[in-house]
Amino acid sequence: MLLTLLGFGMVITFMTLIMTKRLSPLVALILVPIIFAVLGGFGAGIDKMMLDGIRKIAPTGVMLMFAILYFGVMIDAGLFDPIVGRILRAVKGDPLKIVVGTTVLALVISLDGDGSTTYMIVVASMLPLYRRLKMNALSMTCLAMLASGVMNLTPWGGPTARAASALHVDAGDIFVPLVPVMGVSIVAILVLAVFLGLRERRRLGVLSLPEGASLHAGYDEDGPKNLPEIEVDHDLRRPKLLWVNAGLTLALMVSLVMGVLPLPVLFMIAFAVALIINYPNLAEQRRRVAQHAGNVLSVVSLIFAAGIFTGILSGTGMVEAMSRSLLAVIPDALGPYLAGITALVSLPFTFFMSNDAFYFGVLPILSEAAQGYGISPVEMARASLIGQPVHLLSPLVPSTYLLVGLAGVEFGDHQRYSLKWATMVCMVMLAAALVFGLFPLVGSAA
């Protein structure tokens, strides 16, 4: 009982501190778990717990470090300039079209199953538009996250693979029936994009941009006025290498999907090659690294701090205690409804603990109990995936720190803005799953 209270107390204290902006996420991730571990009497073994957590998250930190550097070089070289230019001409200064375009872009890129890549490309492509037109960047981070949460249910995405491994079922058996549910969820996200876009349009109006307008040009006649200029160093642009950079990025994406090498290694190699191709001068290479060092430090430091948080959460046994206490509150009479209950509790479970803890610790227990009511493991696996859009708001998800860091928004602001919409998408997924019969509302032994 003490561990349960400590676990929930630690997570709630952390969330309260960052959402009320009393502490920065970096400081809270380090200090809050240490204080709670000491209060729980785990001071003697806290060093090992923290190091274990850091070791587990180290590959993610290295991957994000070199991914930020790689896409930083690509942005400097102007790889995304044609994309942004075409989008600007297509949207004609209409916030509605910009928000919908952001969502479509995120949905397409999310097919690779890697949220970090999605966020980097979407933010690099769309953030200049949001800044230029004074739009709310939180709508961009919210929709990119929701798109990633739904599209990451592919077999090569993390949640489905974890559920399949934990319950020893085929990932294809989980995924194929999920396709229509994902389709309905995509429609829901696009409807939300239209709603948020209309809200931005009402606030800002439609800004008529003159023909041939550049993203970085100012307008005084029939266009936006007094907008902040976005500085561009044209000396860094490499228009002659556009297709070379595009080919390198495409090869990197294909290699990521095929799993040719581990993600950190792929990004390290790609960054080294990109730097040599675009900026062979050693002094310029140092300047490029220094230019993006701030983004790297702000994101990677959070990743390793999150390793301390998760290491203590797991090492003290708080995660297991939280799981058991949450399962204990489900009455026996609700046993036949375990599939639906699993879908619902996947929202808070995957928010308060990592996907690994939920899928390998909690889900097998729920599935074993559900089999007594005629609910198969594959049905339980599908039900467990419903909460993924809310999961991405968890402070334990490294890629979310990357998203808010690149977009320049506060983590707590992103959570407050996105939580209700993420919950709505989860409810749409649940309703669609029941309609399409992905799992039974009531077990056969009811």
Provide the pLDDT confidence category of residue 248 given band limits of 50, 70 and 90: very high
What does the block give as tokens for 190? 């696009």
Among 137-141, 321-325, 379-383, 434-438, the least confident range:
321-325
Which range is most confident: 139-153, 159-173, 330-344? 139-153
In this predicted structure, the answer to whether residue 102 has a pLDDT above a threshold of 50 is yes
136-174 exposure pattern, b = at least 16 Cβ within 10 A, e = fewer: bbbbbbbbbbbbbbbbbbbbbbbbbbbbbebbebebebb
Percent of the chain topping pLDDT 90: 30
pLDDT (tens digit per residue) in 408-419: 899 989 999 999
3-state secondary structure of 279: coil
239-254: average pLDDT: 89
Quick one: pLDDT at residue 216? Answer: 41
In this predicted structure, the answer to whether residue 398 has a pLDDT above a threshold of 50 is yes
With vertex at residue 363, the alpha carbon angle to CA 358 and CA 368, rounded to the nearest 5 degrees, is 160
Of 149, 215, 217, 153, the residue nearest 188 (C-alpha): 149
What does the block give as tokens for 20? 């009320």
Quick one: pLDDT at residue 84? Answer: 64
Quick one: pLDDT at residue 232? Answer: 53
Quick one: pLDDT at residue 387? Answer: 93
For 191, other C-beta atoms within 10 Å of its C-beta total: 11
In this predicted structure, the answer to whether residue 282 has a pLDDT above a threshold of 90 is yes
Of 356, 354, 358, the residue nearest 309 (C-alpha): 354
In this predicted structure, the answer to whether residue 35 has a pLDDT above a threshold of 90 is yes
In this predicted structure, the answer to whether residue 277 has a pLDDT above a threshold of 90 is yes
Contact 138, 413 (CB under 8 A): yes
In this predicted structure, the answer to whether residue 67 has a pLDDT above a threshold of 70 is yes
Q: How confident is the prediction for the chain on average, in pLDDT? A: 83
Quick one: pLDDT at residue 197? Answer: 94
Provide the pLDDT confidence category of residue 228 given band limits of 50, 70 and 90: very low
Which range is most confident: 284-298, 302-316, 393-407, 425-439? 425-439
Entry pTM: 0.71
Main-chain phi, psi angles of 216, to 5 degrees = -100, 10
Provide the pLDDT confidence category of residue 162 given band limits of 50, 70 and 90: confident
Provide the pLDDT confidence category of residue 332 given band limits of 50, 70 and 90: confident
Contact 350, 394 (CB under 8 A): yes
In this predicted structure, the answer to whether residue 221 has a pLDDT above a threshold of 80 is no
42-68: average pLDDT: 85
Provide the pLDDT confidence category of residue 222 given band limits of 50, 70 and 90: very low
